[in-house]
Structure 1
Amino acid sequence: MAMSGGSDDGAPMIDMNMTPLIDVLLVLLIMFIITIPVATHAVNIDLPQPNPTPPEVIVEPDKNKLIVTQTDEILWNGNPINEGQLVTLLQQTLTITPEPELQFEPEALASYESSARVLNIIKASGVTAFGFVGNERYRTFGSIQ
């Protein structure tokens, strides 16, 4: 029985030596990875421009409180409303000078979907006096009550 591991008759080797090819490909791969720019993730937020001259008389604007409950109910200053009424109320607040501050306070167990939907309505309305309130209650993890 003859073994086919090598050629004893002096014939040239038919198989290509793959080692140099693999070495070149690995070097090219490493160079390609090094030259790729670092991906940066950015969240673009439109911030209001500062007013260089503050008004002489500071008027405290009204504050409207918007709450999303754990039962997906929207409360405007304690009164239940639907999304259509929310759009109307936000449009009305934009006509008031100075614009009333909108305080958004979702309850601890309110659904993320409802809160995100309300935030999208607020963003689409163009409200500029907006703030999150009540976050200090959740300062430590696991303190949701």
Structure 2
Amino acid sequence: MSDINVTPFVDVMLVLLIIFMVTAPMMTHGVKVETPQTTHQKMDVHEKALVISIDASRRVFINQYQLNASEVRQKLPMILDVKQTGEVYLKADKSLPYGLVMDVMAQIRDAGIEKIGMVTEPVPISREGGI
């Protein structure tokens, strides 16, 4: 009999597939931002969406790349094709002043992005029916 037995190979591949399926969700990293809480329904965000984050120490990140707040207008068109990108998501820490967040939003619009989604956390609803 000259056939190769592939059963052990298939077994190993299935075990590796299960391991990667379990560990893949744990490998997502992001910028730690404490977003404000609201009572709206949770919105589905595409996992490949561009997220611009502003943390409590006023550092601005485009996905994982840090830049100065004044550089968003110049660097954003270099990072993505603004004509094909319909929207970006802005995730700002709740302790930041309103003016700083609005300044970053204005720079995003000046870079050519028309739709900006604001990322918030839903308020946990207690069992008694109140908030």
Q: TM-score range by the shorter chain?
A: 0.3 to 0.5
TM-score with structure 1 setting the length? 0.44
TM-score with structure 2 setting the length? 0.48
- Greater RCO structure (CA 8 Å; 6+ sep): 2
